[in-house]
Amino acid sequence: MTKEFDFLVIGSGLAGLSYALRVAEHGKVCVVSKSRIDETNTAMAQGGIAGVLYEESDIDNHIKDTLDCGAGLCNKETVKIVVTEAKKQLEQLIAWGAEFDKTPEGAYDLAREGGHSANRILHHKDSSGWEIERALIAQARKHPNIEIQENYFALEIITQHHLGEYINRQHNDIECYGAFIFNEQTGETHKYLSKITYMATGGACNIYQTTTNPPIATGDGVAMVYRAKGTVADMEFVQFHPTSLYNPGEKPSFLISEAVRGFGAILRDANGKSFMEKYDERGSLAPRDITARAIDKEMKNQGVDHVYLDCTHLDYEAFIKHFPNISNKCKSLGIDITKQFIPVVPAAHFLCGGIKVDKFGRSSIHNLYAGGEAACTGLHGANRLASNSLLEAVVFSARSADDSIKRIGRIDLKQNVPDWNDEGTTFPEEMVLITQNWKEMQQIMSYYVGIVRSDLRLKRALYRLDIIYRETEELYKKTTVSRPLCELRNAINVAYLIIKWAEERRKNVGLHYNIDQL
């Protein structure tokens, strides 16, 4: 079956839905979500969305904080674009129905998080991402030009390769004509042709054993674009959130928001001593790369599985008002935050690299844009400043939408694209072939390519991953497609890219720390 659209959006988080809403007045839009439309990294975001709403003098400070956090590797033009366009796009989110907490006087109650020099973060208690997702879903569902398809999985983007044409990667002449989409309910793969495709598939941190990401974060968009010979960048920079709740066996790991430290919570070691002052003058409000490495070192030095977050000195009534979900979660585990410390441990959280895009979100593949965590805009550099990710997603989706609207009238749907070919494939004999390789890949990445790396660990990781890669590719060639198999294949591709980029980075910076390097 062939379906035709003006715009194909792969992913249903903030980037994908806000892009869809903006272009929907200019053509037929299809939003494809591989699970439920609300199962996204956006919906899991607790802290909020950064941006200067009131004090224009703070714009320069927000730019400086972002550049400082990015350890000198941010694209300065991109940082200026995102920070200066923040107010306009935050107002658009509010116009779409997103509600953020206000003070008794009626102004927005702005929070502060690690790495920020001022209070500039809009939030909805401790479920800010969910509130944004709720508002966007409501708008998208009622728009007549937007078709939403849940439980549809994008297998590959369609390029000249599928037409049997030669692609010269060096000449940058690759074009995207849509994507092959797998219907999980029927087991059929359909051809979705589009004039413009927007890749917004989110992150990839399920390649690690411990992560705050939902299970859907398997790097699908990055892997698809890489296989299509598109350009990716900065893949070595994987951000570990310093404070996920230590609760072995729970997946995804429950996030203790950065805003809790912004509220005044203090990190303490196994003996109850505050330790962050040894690593950074900002103490518990240091950026995530510094904080996560500090916690990792303290845990290794003391031979423990976690450290603690101390909230006992904080105003309890104000705390539960700001962080009701965190309060309830701790209470459900028997943790009295007025008397007991919260056990926390770093967890894989955010991929700073991804599909390389320009200042309009255009990838190296013609007619293919990318946004959100799947994209690398240059905003984050070597380390993302807290709450800048949602801001990046909404600002760049607007820029991509504006550029797409200007170009859509000059693009024709590609004809004569062949159907998906799965001739000769059979159903996989045993699911364990997929699940076991998943576990092995996660172990490899967690033990060898985590917060602290070494040349030997990276070498071992690549060697062991290659075995899993070859086994998975052989299985993929001979069996019918399934979401678990394709997610594994995508995750292995992304894991490989992270290892290779980490090997090539010969100087420690930001989130990349190799004990064999300077």
Active site residues: 288
Is residue 275 classed exposed, middle or buried when 0-12, 13-18 and 19+ CB atoms within 10 A define those classes? Answer: buried
| Interacting residues of 48 by C-beta distance below 8 A, sequence separation 6+ | 100, 111, 113, 121, 122, 123, 124, 128, 259, 387, 390
CA nearest neighbour of 157 among 225, 229, 226, 222 = 225
Is residue 166 classed exposed, middle or buried when 0-12, 13-18 and 19+ CB atoms within 10 A define those classes? Answer: exposed
Q: In 10 A of CB 413, how many CB atoms?
A: 14
Residue type, 387: S
- Asked whether 395 and 81 are in contact (CB, 8 A), the reply is yes
CA dihedral 51, 56, 58, 59 (to 10 degrees): 60
Characterize the bridge pairing of strands 121-122 and 146-150: unpaired
Is residue 479 classed exposed, middle or buried when 0-12, 13-18 and 19+ CB atoms within 10 A define those classes? Answer: middle
**Structure tokens, 225:** 């674009």
Total length of the chain? 518
| Interacting residues of 500 by C-beta distance below 8 A, sequence separation 6+ | 235, 462
Backbone angles phi, psi at 410, to 5 degrees: -100, 5
Q: What is the largest CA-CA distance in the chain?
A: 68
d(CA 153, CA 480): 14
Can you give the C-alpha Rg of the chain in angstroms? Answer: 22
150's enclosing H/E stretch is strand 146-150
